[in-house]
Amino acid sequence: MADEPVDRWRIETNDRYSKIVSSVISLATGALVLPALFLRQFLGIPTEKALAPFLTCAAYASWICLGCSVLFGLLYSWLSVKWVKLAWGQKIAVSEHFLEWVLDVVFVLVVLLFLVGIAASVWFFATVRVACPTPPR
């Protein structure tokens, strides 16, 4: 193994992209609780009452997209290790061009799924219907 990376730019670029992916993973993980938090804290659904009747397809779509964003983010992190190995001149099982293409696709998926998940959460917040008890007369 070399004392210096063969391609320093690979490491520097990887660090920048990895910071973005780490931020998206953190935000997506936090956003997973938003529908339940919204129902409990803002709409006042008591803790003894199940949330399932109030959840819509938008909430489920949000969870699926945000969860997939987190999973693709973890995949990106694993693949980026292979990219760094290339920078140090080590061999990997796939071609450099294929790895770069997969990293690009996975990065776009991480960001796109996060944005769709947030949009689905907002859609849920805007369209949720909670049957309010009628006030006494």
Average pLDDT over residues 11-34: 94
The candidate with the shortest Cα–Cα distance to 14, out of 91, 107, 80, 72, is 80
Judge whether residue 4 has pLDDT over 80.
no
pLDDT number for residue 92: 85
pLDDT number for residue 20: 96
Q: What is the per-residue pLDDT across 109-120, written as a single tens digit (0 to 9) for each?
A: 999 999 999 999
Judge whether residue 16 has pLDDT over 60.
yes
Average pLDDT over residues 7-15: 82
pLDDT number for residue 130: 65
* Angstrom distance (rounded) from CA 47 to CA 64: 24
Angle, helix 96-127 to helix 57-87, in steps of 10 degrees: 160
**What Cα–Cα distance (Å) separates residue 60 from each residue in 11, 75, 117?**
37, 22, 9
* Angstrom distance (rounded) from CA 116 to CA 106: 15
pLDDT number for residue 131: 54
Instruction: Identify which of 9-13, 50-54, 103-107 has the greatest average pLDDT.
Output: 103-107
